[in-house]
Structure 1
Amino acid sequence: MTSLLHEQRLADACEAVRQCGARSVLDLGCGDGDLLVRLASEPQIERIVGVDICAASLQRLRARLEALGVKATGHVELVHGSMITNGAAFKGFDCAVLIETIEHIDPDRLSVLERTVFAEMRPRTVIITTPNAEFNRLLDVPPHRFRHPDHRFEWDRAKFQRWAEGVAGRNGYRVACRDSAGCHPTLGGASQMALFAVAAHHAGSVQAREAGRSGPGS
């Protein structure tokens, strides 16, 4: 993806985080930290945790943060590990972002990701972006190829929306999908974004159950 489209995608993601009002953010698959270093300067964000399975990427991110005068401690924490395991360790965040990460997971493992993020971590908001396969022709990507050799799939907008709506319905979220990183009149954006938010009725039932557990006789 060109640098301009990459910058637009990051700007879209930052704006989505601002709009949801998150004070704590979990960056799953943070890589070298293109999004995380931007979020670290957002005044309303009090805590950011970046998680990635690549130790070398996290080391590069630490160097970037130190160059900016940001220590990877306190309100910024980096964790070496998988984003599809140990979800209970990352409960309680306002927002989780997965920027161009799900396409690196084998499709038959997406159910594990869904359970980990939406059932175990259960942030109030989840922001996911992934390449829009329809846009590939504008990037001169042949029909039988993906944009990156590590991609396991690339979906068109209809398939991504069906997947997102299924995830939302199964886990008590509502979801809206939109174009990201450009907006061709017929092919959409280079990326596509799903914005998940815990459904109000589901959040209320969870709070009631928690109150019941901590009430008299518990």
Structure 2
Amino acid sequence: MTTILHEERLSTVVAAVAETGARTVLDLGCGDGDLVLRLAGVAGIGRVTGIEIDAERVRRAQTRLAGLPAGGARVQLACASLTRFHPNLAGYDCACLVEVIEHLPQADINRLERALFGGMRPGHVIVTTPNAEYNPVLGVPPHRFRHPDHHFEWDRARFARWGRGVAVRNDYTVTFRDICGAHPDLGGASQMAVFRRGDQSP
């Protein structure tokens, strides 16, 4: 189901990718291809690769991508784990994880860090995840998550601690911003971290 928040989140991520100047982009946890479809139409992006562990969702994404006009970015999809190092995915300009990390248990979060930041080392990494502080605005009861498959939902302080730790351990810098709303006290429905590899120009 596509919601207004989902559309706003995707638009924000596409704009953030464009700001990096990336020509090659990874969408990790691409699902049915929502972000891949949008990135394929961005001027200057020449290659988009979507990775998804669920084979059925990969098939659905492939069906949707079959309608893309010729002459745009080269698009590839693969059914693969996000927590394993794939040498063929090293060297991308930018990688995106849009509302993905909260679906992973902590052990897999650590494996993802090693595979992505330590192994594949894209120039930039863009991560979004729900902001737990905003849950009351959405009517989510206390001590409940927005989705039954979520292993956690972090507040902004916890997300920042994780992001800064990842950056320090792997020679990246990181910035954070609220997205999908701007409550004066609670922030947005989602939160976004943009990591930049140490050898990349600001």
Report the TM-score, using the length of structure 1 for normalisation.
0.88
**Unaligned 5+ runs, structure 2:** none
- The separation in 2 between residues aligned to 1:137 and 1:160, in whole angstroms, is 18
The within-5 A match list for 1:123-134 is 123-134=122-133
What corresponds to 2:94 in structure 1? 95
- The separation in 1 between residues aligned to 2:155 and 2:118, in whole angstroms, is 26
- The separation in 2 between residues aligned to 1:90 and 1:27, in whole angstroms, is 11
1:152-192 alpha-carbon deviations (Å, 9 max, x no partner): 00000000001000000000000001011111111111110
- Contact 1:134/1:188, CA 8 A, preserved across alignment: yes
- The separation in 2 between residues aligned to 1:70 and 1:171, in whole angstroms, is 38
Q: Would you identify which runs of 4 or more consecutive aligned residues in structure 1 move more than 2 Å?
A: 67-71, 86-89
More helix by share: 1
- The separation in 1 between residues aligned to 2:107 and 2:142, in whole angstroms, is 22
Deviation at 1:2, TM superposition (A): 7.5
1:76-127 alpha-carbon deviations (Å, 9 max, x no partner): 0001111111332310100000000000100132111100000101000000
The within-5 A match list for 1:126-205 is 126-200=125-199
- The separation in 2 between residues aligned to 1:87 and 1:135, in whole angstroms, is 35
Q: Secondary structure at the match of 2:174?
A: strand
- The separation in 1 between residues aligned to 2:35 and 2:2, in whole angstroms, is 16
1:49-79 alpha-carbon deviations (Å, 9 max, x no partner): 00000111111111111133469xx810001
> Which has the larger Rg?
1
- The separation in 2 between residues aligned to 1:109 and 1:29, in whole angstroms, is 13
Q: Pairwise CA RMSD of aligned residues?
A: 1.9
Report the TM-score, using the length of structure 2 for normalisation.
0.94
The within-5 A match list for 1:12-31 is 12-31=12-31
2:173 partner letter: R
